[in-house]
Amino acid sequence: MRLRSAARSAILVAAIIIAPGLPRAAEIRVFSTPTLKALLDRIAPTLLAQSGHTIVAEYDTAANLTKEIEASLKIDVALLLPDQIDRLIEKGKLTPARRDIARAAMGIAMKSTAPKPDLSTPDAFKRVLLAANTIAYTPNSASSTYMLTLIAGLGIEDAVKDKLRAQTGAQAMERIARGEVDLMVISVPNILGVPGVQLAGLLPEAFQNYVVYSAAMSPEAHQAEATALIDLLSSPVARAEMRSRGLEPLPK
């Protein structure tokens, strides 16, 4: 499933007339996991002010975007998961200079008015899943793939299989806010700031899984422009935004 308003949509950050002395403006085409959308939206004006470059971003699950890049779709920068970046590097679709920029913990999203459950132990987490009437998940996403692995490991697949509701992360948050779905296991940045939705808690320590987000550029990218964006993602400006959105910046 795609986080797009039509079959293919993109976010274009508005261009400006470049002041004398600034480098020639370029559109940087980015394929990104939806988790980083808010971050890109916030740092785009900084990129614009510093270089005149704009971001044209397309968001989908990392697995789906990887397939599109493998099919030779032209991009400048990929913001995906480390394994997928490495796979694309091996196939010559990205340059061998992966940069890990941030990681995010996994939590449970619930309606803002719902009582926060006990998530302190694996058994408590298991009880929360069994008590839920409906559980949202996004096929092929890292968070939901991990959740399904936990469910299998807990031996409760048969007990929860009829509760599962497949949808995109954005759709799931909307349905949770309306009370149509009870919960979703997803990385924290996808929960924070969503109206009507709360971070009910982090997964118990024994089950916690950090999702790492990495950047790399295409061999056919506008090299200087792509580098400017990747460098900005490791800058103090971006790192402050990351922390405010539930992301933990990683060392350069």
Give CATH for domain 11-103+212-249: 3.40.190.10
Domain locations in the chain as residue ranges = 11-103+212-249, 106-207
Taking only the tens place, the pLDDT of each residue in 145-176 is 999 999 999 999 999 999 999 988 788 999 99
- CATH domain 106-207 topology: D-Maltodextrin-Binding Protein; domain 2 (3.40.190)
Ranking 20-34, 91-105, 201-215 by mean pLDDT, the lowest is 20-34
Per residue in 31-75, pLDDT tens?
999 999 999 999 999 999 998 999 999 999 888 899 999 998 789
Q: Which residues contact 46 (CB under 8 A, 6 or more apart)?
A: 232, 237
> How far is it, in rounded angstroms, from Cα 228 to Cα 251?
18
Q: Which residues on adjacent β-strands are paired with residue 239?
A: none
Beta strands at 211-217 and 99-104: parallel, antiparallel or unpaired: antiparallel
Query: 3-state DSSP call for residue 230?
Result: helix
- Burial-class residue 170 by CB neighbours within 10 Å (0-12, 13-18, 19+): middle
Q: Is the pLDDT of residue 214 over 50?
A: yes
Calculate the alpha carbon distances from 179 to 46, 196, 222, 242 in Å: 37, 9, 45, 29
Question: d(Cα 30, Cα 74) in Å, to the nearest integer?
Answer: 10
Give the pLDDT score at 7: 34
| pLDDT over 80 (residue 218) | yes
Which DSSP helix (H) or strand (E) runs through 48? helix 37-51
- Rounded CA gap, 235 and 116, in Å? 35
CB neighbour list of residue 233: distance below 8 Å, 6 or more residues apart: 39, 43, 79, 99, 101, 215
